[in-house]
Amino acid sequence: MKNFSGKVAVITGAGSGLGREFALTAAGLGMKLVLADVQADALERTTDELLGQGVEVLSMVCDVSKGAHVQELADAAIARFHGIHLVFNNAGVGSGGLIWENTEADWEWVLGVNLWGVIHGVRVFTHAMLECARRDPDYEGHIVNTASMAGLLNAPAMGVYNVSKHAVVSLSETLYHDLQLVDAPIGASVLCPYFVPTGIHQSHRNRPEELKPEMRATASQMAAQALTSKAVESGKVSASDVSRITFDAIRDGQFYIYSHPQALGGVQERMEAIVQGKNPPDPYAATPHVREMLRSKL
């Protein structure tokens, strides 16, 4: 996708973090925006800011874990702007702790947003975009699914999150191949950010009441939360930087998008271990103090 001006971008998780930066970048390129978030006050702030700049914006409170909500979002986008060209399936939440200590509610919440949110986005918006392409011979579109470096690596005490993001990488690769198979004028990318200062380490603020934990957090869950918070808050690559990198990748038709390409050394070690039939390498081999800090809190 090369041309953005006058086109329509749909962004989930648009109230803050990466989603907000995608919206600001898209607005700067002259795009019309459809913004969604489960957090109404954050969504309103982003919407008001963009409306104040004269941007055409449609915003909806949307729980992406619910397919009906995502369908309503797509229907509203078509009704308002008569087309969809760029989709960011970006909404996400974080969770940690030893994998056997995560409750059914933990799994349902994280997979509901991180995985089912992307599944619904791909299922609903790809259909809508293909219909747009049938009506416009010059149509070009693109879908970006937000995964994580945790979709390519497996750090301990992050099991639920790791599983959700690995699935998003697989889903995105399959989407890319399927679009290629039918010669669709739609590109696909998977975004794998590492530690970027966003609000994901505070995502429990939006956890639905019916999925909130019944018991106090375990030692491993508190340790994982503290470690993630420190890593996210100290990140040197900003959400604005990631947005710029992402839009450059969309222009270039690049599938894999990384905020921290230096982290790919760990991915290479993991892949080599898989090919050679070795045991999984230590993801903290280069930073043993992190492993010891985590272990000490257990």
Query: In this structure, are residues 243 and 21 in contact, taking their beta carbons and an 8 Å threshold?
Result: yes
C-alpha to C-alpha distance for 245 and 21, rounded to whole angstroms: 11
For residue 284, indicate whether it is catalytic: no
Domains of the chain, by residue range, sit at 8-296
Distance of CA 116 to the CA centre of its chain: 12
What are phi and psi for residue 21, nearest 5 degrees?
-70, -35
The arrangement of secondary structure in 8-296, i.e. its CATH architecture, is 3-Layer(aba) Sandwich (3.40)
Q: Where are the beta strands (DSSP E) in 236-296?
A: 256-258
Sign (positive or negative) of CA dihedral 197, 201, 205, 207: positive
Q: For residue 200, what pLDDT is reported? A: 67
List the chain residues with pLDDT less than 50: none
Q: For residue 199, what pLDDT is reported? A: 67
C-alpha to C-alpha distance for 57 and 76, rounded to whole angstroms: 12
- Out of 161, 176, 194, 258, the active site residue is 161
Residue type, 164: S
Q: 19 to each of 10, 133, 200, 287, how far by Cα in Å?
A: 10, 25, 11, 30
Q: For residue 214, what pLDDT is reported? A: 75
Distance of CA 255 to the CA centre of its chain: 14
